[in-house]
């Protein structure tokens, strides 16, 4: 088995302990991974704190060039990184390849952003200027569904702003992140970026650590509440990108042959383990049967297998705990609705569940009311678009949503009133580094991407001079 190392103070080091990483397609141990101790976490934070003064004073143009060098290094290793990502995460190799490529794209498109001084007032009596200063050490906690891309949602902007970092990947998907750490060690000065791993025991230590100025967390809403409570002790800055229960509303007049593939692809990417995936579909009575039939056909045609195998379109659930959760949801869905495709776990090693379409189900069923985070999609009826909108908005979450229909005016009216951070019309899951991204309600606090995301990693600093 290949050796993996933590990155602490510019050095690739062994963990004080080790932990196994399982391939979800085989349930076999893929590698033994270093596991950091609390002492190693403290060493990583201390290294980041020591590196902060010189890194924050370095011209932003130099920080930018290092980010671009990091992107170049990722691009050179893209094939091996993608293969390793599929082995530990489970997604098809085509999706892993896209994740690495999109990571490079994000870094390169975020690196040119700047933090110019803004002159608020300049007259005979005073000069008022607004600056943006880095915060200090940023702790980034990354989930297991997109371990590399979600790092690129945080690290480029945090580093560009002049912060230093401690990055912690999820315990079930640490390996590709550690390989990325090897690339970063060759690019950034010692201590600027540190990567540690754990078994979900060091996260609370990070969020409470007095020398960490900000936590950027992506994960479930329940864990986000714990992060928020822990950060309150030191009044840390936080950015929380949390769970979603994204609704798609299919209006009368939409074309089922266009809508169904768009919704299916947005619901079942990465086996449905996407925060912004379509999680529930509301379809007008006049189209309901046609949309359900086409979604079921697409589900039946899906190739569920090891992500490294040619032709696989849906890989396994990433870990045993989530696999068991989705199987329990399937059992309830059979009682609460009508399973028209899928509905079974594969009888073989690996955490495989076939894409499942559930029709004739109500809003209070768990599959609809809670985020399933797996390859199971409920399809619900409506006759009045206002009713569909109210039902779509009637959850504690508001990460994303979409409206599908040929009547552009009606679609825009519904989209503008959808209570979500980002809403699409006749598409879903279309985002980019230049488009601000954040959730409403219990789907998060703060913004990622674009100038707004860069500002999240800074402290507003106003200088008001008498003339």
Identify the H or E element spanning 35: strand 28-35
N- to C-terminal Cα distance for the chain?
A: 68
**β-pairing verdict for 6-8 and 11-13:** antiparallel
Which residues contact residue 374 at a Cβ distance below 8 angstroms, ignoring those fewer than 6 apart? 271, 272, 273, 317, 322, 325, 326, 329, 353
Q: What amino acid positions are annotated as catalytic residues?
A: 241
Alpha carbon distance 466, 125 (integer Å): 6
For residues 465 and 4, what is the distance between their CA atoms, to the nearest angstrom? Answer: 53
- Residues of the chain with pLDDT below 50 are 1
> What digits encode the pLDDT tens for the residues 111-149?
999 999 999 999 999 999 999 999 999 999 999 999 999
Least Cα distance to 349 among 21, 25, 20, 29 occurs for 25
Q: How many CB atoms lie within 10 A of CB 462?
A: 10
Superfamily covering domain 247-425:
Aldehyde Dehydrogenase; Chain A, domain 2 (3.40.309.10)
Mean pLDDT over the full length of the chain: 97
Selecting from 3.90.1580.10, 3.30.470.20, 3.40.605.10, 3.20.20.70, what CATH number does the domain 6-243+443-466 have?
Answer: 3.40.605.10
For the stretch 41-97, pLDDT in tens is: 999 999 999 999 999 999 999 999 999 999 999 999 999 999 999 999 999 999 999
Helical (H) or strand (E) element with 237:
strand 237-241
- For residue 1, the model assigns a pLDDT of 46
Query: For the chain, what percent of residues have pLDDT higher than 90?
Result: 99
Angle CA 436–431–73, to nearest 5:
95
Boundaries of CATH 3.40.605.10 in the chain?
Answer: 6-243+443-466
* pLDDT value at residue 437: 97
Q: What residue spans in the chain does CATH classification 3.40.309.10 cover?
A: 247-425
Q: Please, which residues have CB within 8 angstroms of residue 248's CB and are 6 or more apart in sequence?
A: 263, 266, 278, 280, 281, 282, 401, 402, 403, 404, 428
Please classify residue 404 by burial: count the beta carbons closer than 10 Å to its beta carbon, then call 0-12 exposed, 13-18 middle and 19+ buried.
buried
Q: How many angstroms separate the most distant Cα atoms in the chain?
A: 79
Task: Find the helix packing angle between 60-76 and 78-89, rounded to 10°.
Answer: 70
């Amino acid at each position: 088995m290949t050796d993996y190392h933590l990155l602490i103070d510019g050095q690739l080091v062994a963990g004080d302990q080790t932990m196994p990483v399982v391939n979800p397609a085989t349930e076999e141990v893929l590698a033994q991974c270093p596991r950091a101790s609390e002492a190693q976490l403290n060493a990583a934070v201390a290294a980041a704190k020591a590196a902060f003064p010189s890194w924050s004073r370095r011209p932003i143009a130099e920080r930018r060039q290092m980010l671009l060098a990091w992107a170049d290094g990722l691009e050179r290793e893209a094939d091996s990184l993608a293969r390793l990502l599929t082995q530990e995460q489970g997604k098809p190799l085509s999706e892993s390849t896209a994740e690495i490529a999109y990571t490079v794209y994000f870094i390169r498109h975020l690196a040119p952003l700047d933090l110019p001084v803004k002159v608020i007032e300049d007259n005979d009596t005073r000069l008022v200027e607004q600056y943006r200063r880095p915060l200090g050490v940023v702790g980034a906690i990354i989930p297991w569904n997109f371990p590399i891309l979600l790092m690129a949602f945080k690290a480029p902007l945090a580093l560009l702003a002049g912060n230093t970092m401690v990055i912690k990947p999820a315990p079930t998907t640490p390996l590709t992140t550690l390989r990325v750490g090897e690339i970063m060690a060759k690019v950034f000065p010692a201590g600027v970026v540190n990567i540690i791993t754990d078994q979900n025991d060091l996260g609370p230590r990070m969020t409470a650590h007095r020398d960490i100025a900000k936590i950027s967390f992506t994960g479930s809403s329940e864990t986000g509440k714990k992060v928020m409570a822990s950060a309150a002790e030191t009044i840390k800055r936080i950015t929380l990108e949390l769970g979603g229960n994204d609704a798609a509303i299919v209006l009368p007049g939409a074309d089922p042959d266009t809508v169904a593939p768009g919704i299916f692809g947005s619901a079942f990417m990465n086996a449905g383990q996407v925060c912004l995936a379509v999680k529930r579909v509301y379809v007008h009575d006049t189209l309901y049967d046609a949309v359900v039939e086409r979604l079921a056909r697409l589900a039946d045609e899906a190739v569920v297998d090891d992500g490294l195998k040619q032709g696989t379109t849906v890989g396994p659930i990433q870990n045993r705990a989530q696999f068991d959760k989705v199987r329990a949801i399937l059992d309830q869905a059979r009682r609460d609705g009508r399973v028209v495709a899928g509905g079974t776990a594969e009888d073989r090693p690996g955490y495989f569940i076939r894409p499942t379409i559930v029709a004739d189900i109500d809003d209070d069923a768990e599959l609809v009311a809670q985020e399933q985070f797996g390859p199971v999609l409920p399809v619900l009826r409506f006759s009045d678009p206002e009713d569909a909108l109210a039902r779509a908005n009637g959850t504690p979450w508001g990460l994303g949503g979409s409206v599908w229909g040929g009547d552009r005016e009606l679609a825009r009216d519904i989209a503008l009133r959808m209570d979500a951070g980002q809403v699409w019309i006749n598409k879903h899951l279309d985002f980019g580094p230049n488009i601000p991204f954040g959730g409403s309600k219990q789907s998060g606090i703060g913004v990622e991407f674009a100038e707004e995301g860069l500002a999240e990693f800074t402290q507003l600093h106003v200088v008001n001079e008498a003339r």
